[in-house]
Amino acid sequence: MSGFMKSSLKVLLATLFLTLGTMAHAQISSTSGSGSLGPNPTFCPSGENSGWNWQVDQAPVTTTVTSQAGFNLPQGAAPCLLQISVNIPHSTTIHEVHGNISLTTFNSFSGGCGNGSAVAQLRDLSTGNVIASMKLGVLGPNSTNVPISATFATPLSIASFQFQYSVDVCGPQTINVSLVMS
């Protein structure tokens, strides 16, 4: 099962770059990043197939955020928090968001590990306003998905995002985010 997550982490950015290449004629500004888990600047320990990546695509009207984060806490590890700050090419105003956030676990429950439990949030870095948030649990190898659809009574002026992930059970689990904002 672990190869599944490893492969997913490896290919997401490649895919998104490929997407950019094919959309070069369109008016898109994109930025992306990736990294490994470890003691600094994150508090989540590294493990097999752990890591994260993200991409932000800005078109004339929409801003799309795609991200994947894989965690593999060892048994007995404390809950951990991963925060990733993202500066975007152009500041924008967000009135609405739609898309999904999902949580997937890959192993059967064994020895106390194998379930999933996570919080995922996309926030406005400068103010802390939360654009989308989910808290999910998954038992054993499985995947669950949260559709996101919301509008903001007061539109948010955004110059930078923050991905915030928190995981509190051991074993491999992956969080996927795909959100369109306008």
Partner 1 sequence: MDFFPGPPNDFPASPGFTQVTIAIPSQCPARVVHEIHGNIAVEVQAINADCGHASIIAQIIDQNGNNIASATLNELGLGQINMPVKGSFSTPLSVTSFTLQFFLNPFHCNPGSSQVVSWSLAMS
Q: Which of residues 34-93 bind partner 1 (CB under 8 A)?
A: 57, 59-62, 64, 66, 68, 93
Rounded to whole angstroms, the Cα distance separating 22 from 17 reads 9
C-alpha 79/C-alpha 45 separation (Å) is: 10
Residues 25-44 that bind partner 1 (CB under 8 A): 26-28
Give the three-state DSSP class for 11. Answer: helix
In the shown chain, the binding pattern of residues 132 to 151 toward partner 1, with x for contact by CB under 8 A and - for none, equals ---------xxx-x-x-x-x
Sheet containing strand 29-35, edge to edge, reads: 29-35, 51-58, 63-73, 171-181, 80-105, 142-167, 116-124, 130-138
Nearer residue to partner 1 within complex by CB, 78 or 135: 135
Side chain identity at residue 54, one-letter code: W
Contact by Cβ (8 Å): 52, 34: yes
Binding residue for partner 1 (CB under 8 A) from 7, 31, 75, 157?
7
> Interface residues for partner 1 in 106-125 (CB under 8 A)?
106
Positions touching partner 1 (CB under 8 A) are 1, 3-4, 7-8, 11-12, 15, 18-19, 22-23, 26-28, 57, 59-62, 64, 66, 68, 93, 95-100, 102, 104, 106, 141-143, 145, 147, 149, 151, 155, 174, 176-180, 182
